[in-house]
Structure 1
Amino acid sequence: MTQEITETTGTGPEPVEPAGAARETLEDYTLRFAPRSYRRWSTGVVAVSALGGIAYLADFAIGANIGISYGTTNALWGILVFAVVIFATGFPLAYYAARYNLDLDLITRGSGFGYYGSVVTNVIFATFTFIFFALEGSIMAQGLQLGLGLPLWLGYALSTLIIFPLVVYGMSLLSKLQLWTTPLWLVLMVAPFVYLLVSHPDSVATFFAYQGEDGNGAPSLGAVMLAAGVCLSLIAQIAEQIDYLRFMPPRTPENRRRWWTAMVLAGPGWVLFGAVKQVVGLFLAVYIIANVTGGAAVANQPVHQFLEIYRDIMPPWAAMTLAVVLVVISQIKINVTNAYSGSLAWTNSFTRVTRRYPGRLVFLGVNLAIALVLMEANMFDFLNTILGFYANCGMSWVVVVASDIAINKYLLKLSPKEPEFRRGMLYAVNPVGFGSMIVSAGVSIVAFFGGLGAAVQPFSPLVAIGLALVLPPVIAVATRGRYYLRRTDDGIELPMYDEHGNPSGETLHCHVCRQDFERPDVAACHTHDAYVCSLCLSTDRVGDHVLPATDPVRPRS
């Protein structure tokens, strides 16, 4: 149950935020612009923290699964398609997040979806987080069963419960966790692959010759696209990268090169590491199938992939120990990010729809509970189907936003170049992004299930990408961009950006929650000669503070 702040001192309206909302969101900036006063990390620390979030072992399982299903050649081409699409679509999103210090939900609002229209994309992203939390949790449970003899159901529960206390404290703790664990994780992951290349060079030829479990892995465009479709389920990973990138320091002439390098590597560049892990996962799977008795049954399970290679290098007890340690570290590194990002997504949606802020921790529990149910349902056995279906929704969302930023903002200039996310400044729903995503996802899902014919079925990813890329500029031109901004003046005369184009660090006082916020996070109050922050606008249940569509109010500075 939410609890309201009560007025104790001073004059003015009764605050509309739930108790503790201002304090809690000042730690992780739920629903908020990330102010420069909080962004004290260097570009390198932000990049390493963001890349720590891709330590998941799911890539190894995905690479193994598509290779076993479609053969090495088709899998490699599918991974290449995946990498190109992810990098091209992730670049404008990552740049926008790092430049303007917003998460992907806030970006989505002003990039074609509208204030309430982006709620559906939050649900898509939250779904991504609990699907991959469940996948990583399943891998950890497999490791605990193999190494410690724990039954899977108990391993699922432990892999879920261990994450909760780590995510409670938000980004400060998460950045430290990622930095401390990354070196050990890199050594444990890279060593087996290097060992095989050096000691078993013949495994390379075996890898390229592998035709899949049915021996029907001849090169095929349909098989390539089916493999790419499974990989492209990871397209929403850019949103988790952005949850770190929004804390990038301001870009200045002095740090310009470091800023761009960190943004590219930690933003769209995550896919380069992800693609390598998928290839390595398939490589290890093929080696196990060819050289380990009964290996085909476990070749797609990362814990077995690493255990079998470690056994060639060291005593069995040490091999088992390192395999379990790798699995546990990997699962914790990615699932703290899955849990954190999922809790933000659910909180954003709930707060906007109900105008109540229940606290991020409530939805942290919800996200973990859903993931646990998926694990207990043994989702690992139908992984390809789940990921292939989800990819259509994820691709539609991300490509639509990328299209709006790259084409509508920078080429056609029909969408406002600077981001906008505050209530009152945006229309409730913008048909440019919202309509494009619904059509793109709907048609591609129909294609995925064969509704457009067997010939089109393998190409549902191309259907999703093509429609999501083309529809936003078409609809923007048709509507002349009129549904982006409800008003262009937020009633504040102070400039929004500094001399380098970074969001201003000037602070203003919110008269509702009585906290100070930086310029991009506040607007003028409609009914008072004062300012109000974005979260108080979101939780204003009667709309007293929300600026109207016309006649901007200008309070005194």
Structure 2
Amino acid sequence: MAGRILDWLKREGGEPASPEAEALARLAAARDAAEAANEAKTRFLASVAHEIRSPLNAIYGYAQLIERGEGKDALSAARVIRRSAEHLAHLVEGLLDIAQVEGGAMTLSREAIRFPEFLDQLIAMLDLQAQAKGLALVLERPERLPEFVHADPKRLRQVLINLIANAIKFTDHGSVTLKVDYRNELATFTVIDTGIGIAPEDAERIFAPFERVGSAAAERPGVGLGLAITQALVHIMGGEIRLDSRPGEGSRFTVRLMLSQPLTPPSEPAPEAGAVTGYIGRERWVLLIDDDAAHLAVVRGLLEPLGFQVRTASDGESALAAAAQFQPDLVLCDVALGADNGWEIAAQLRRRHGAALRIVMLSGEVHLVEGDAHDTLILKPFAFDDLLDCVADQLGVEWVRAAGEPRAAAPEAPAAPSLPLVIAPVAAAHCAEIERLVRIGHVRAIEAEIDALAALAPEAVPFAERMRAALDSFDLKALAGLAKMVQADAA
């Protein structure tokens, strides 16, 4: 607009713009910038709702089932709620990562994850959302999927949830399918829906931030940020994403990523310590300060059964009065307290009670740290274990724990059946080839060699089945060991 004003003035007067005209143009430019910034803010706030909808729906749906007593498996529902809440926290962090994506500064983690279990959890998280629309949510995966792969679980989960949730949103009848293939360490994820489809002219625009394509998009929540984030994350992970779609026939999003397998399966984690049941030493007093009654009830419900004496306050005045009355050992103080300021309350508590009082601030705004009256800060949302670790560190208490459940000893593997001497040389040749194929990962050729080994004689079938079981579980180390055993016997 500012440029058009200057052009018009030049055309009309034929002379350079006057200072007044230039000032008017600058004002118009400032107004345009403010309007653009306000529009961007509106789109951003709307995108937050779009991104958190899926895990929030899982939490809300399962919580209602438990409340109404309709959940058949409360423990399973609780796990879905916890995983969804964790993902919700990750998404909030992910929104803050947008700037890092644009600046190319994002880093990825590389963890060994249980691949089949990861996929099952993903489907469980989104199943309620599909059921609410009368859709079938289907997971198609091969039987011989590796148990472990290397990936950034947070980013991979974010990509797949964005695609599946988007498919559910734009599908009114039929199904949404996540098809997974894995070959030569290349994982292919295909999200297939029977929804409204996407016109060819919109296929590129749909990956642009804040784009809403098609008439149906205006009727559904969100502003299209999910696919933009998804494409950026896929590219950062070194993969590719492709869209195949026709209006009225559904869509197919395909993501290809290299997910390598660990050379050896990760060792089982050490048995977890038993649950905390109390602490050793004198009785400790804790003051909780928060204007959210639900938060006070949750933290109080965690600490009181462990033997802490807990008092609560919802504002600065009552908090200071309570602290003067019973002299707490520890204060857990929220930063945002309505009209009151948590930092100022912490400062007053420090002046009145000195350094012996331990003060822990609770906040969702890590960048807003004021003063040095507090001892440490915990970000919301937090895991109970993290809070208990902080309490133990601040008070120097030693936890009393319930006896942990010992892990059951793994059953000893049955000894490999021996092969008849008459077929040993031929069997050794097949096993030498199997050992070679294991090194290059040629699964189909390994299957053929095992079949040939089983066909040598009926007595070879049990041994071949043992090798087939190792292959089916992708225990290539065990498979190579069996092959070496046959060669050693035949030598």
Is the strand fraction higher in 1 or 2? 2
Class of the TM-score when normalised by the shorter of the 2 chains: under 0.3
Is the helix fraction higher in 1 or 2? 1
Structure 2 length as normaliser, TM-score? 0.21
Kindly indicate whether structure 1 or structure 2 has the higher relative contact order, using CA contacts under 8 Å at least 6 residues apart: 1
Structure 1 length as normaliser, TM-score? 0.19
